[in-house]
Amino acid sequence: MSTPVPDALLRFESVGVSLEEGRDLLIGVDAVVHGGRITVVAGPSGAGKSTLLRLGDRLEVPTSGRVLFRGVDVAMLDPCRLRRSVGMVFQRPVLFPGTVAENLRVADPAATEARLIAELGRVGLGAEFLDRVGDDLSGGEAQRVCIARTLLTGPEVLLMDEPTSALDPWSRQSIEDLVRVLAAEGLGIMWVTHDHAQMERLADHRVVLRGGRRLPAAEAEQYLREAIGEDQP
């Protein structure tokens, strides 16, 4: 018996993004992010992957179509409140000057030390990290701190823009494992990657873009087979 798919948290309905000079970055793209599921977006450079992701918390605004969070057009929502519910994790971790604790309190200034320790534990870091500064962290540790900082806002959806592309293989694997745990806890994940094998490892749902359009299922399968073959040494 198949497991029922939960209702969509984030839905992209025929979204398009066009620049003033007439170039189309996205053309009529549909996509859905469900709670407890990982939706992976892949495709070649310039396909519109990051543009699609950024529509999710209004870092970009569609020129056609709409984006819905829990059934409400995000254009009708306060951007700051939306971004607490739909968090973003970027390709390269960005930490502010100061300690890890100070970085975490950017997301929640009232957070107790116990809460900070709990969120660090959630991403696999110990309490001893609270007093460390960003310059002393590895790339993987810094990315985990950024994820913990985002989790402190209590998001229902995480938008992740190639979050492991700058990491070593061990750190990449550990972040992938972490995201599977977060999805199992009920978060909806939308993960952009240029790594086609990573899509195969992570995706509950796949969105393949090329030239700003979403490929139909058969074309997406063919593209991925060819792309994964090209990725092999």
Inter-residue contact 86 to 157 (CB < 8 Å): yes
At 1, the pLDDT band (50, 70, 90 cuts) reads very low
User: pLDDT for 128-141, tens place per residue?
Assistant: 999 999 889 999 99
Q: What is the pLDDT of residues 146-200, one digit of tens each?
A: 999 999 999 999 999 999 988 889 999 999 999 999 999 999 999 999 888 899 9
**CATH architecture of the region 8-90+156-231:** 3-Layer(aba) Sandwich (3.40)
pLDDT tens, position by position, 191-212:
999 888 899 999 999 999 999 9
| Total residues found in the chain within this entry | 233
| d(C-alpha 104, C-alpha 147), whole Å | 10
Assess whether pLDDT exceeds 70 at residue 4: no
Dist. CA 65–CA 201, nearest whole Å:
30
With 90 as the cut, is the pLDDT of residue 224 above it? no
Q: Among 65-69, 121-125, 224-228, which stretch is predicted with the lowest mean pLDDT?
A: 224-228
Q: Which helix (H) or strand (E) holds 10?
A: strand 8-18
The domain locations on the chain are 8-90+156-231
Q: Is the pLDDT of residue 118 over 70?
A: yes
Q: Report which of 72, 70, 79, 65 is spatially closest to residue 28, judged by C-alpha positions.
A: 65
- pLDDT value of residue 20: 82
Structure-block tokens of residue 73: 């057009």
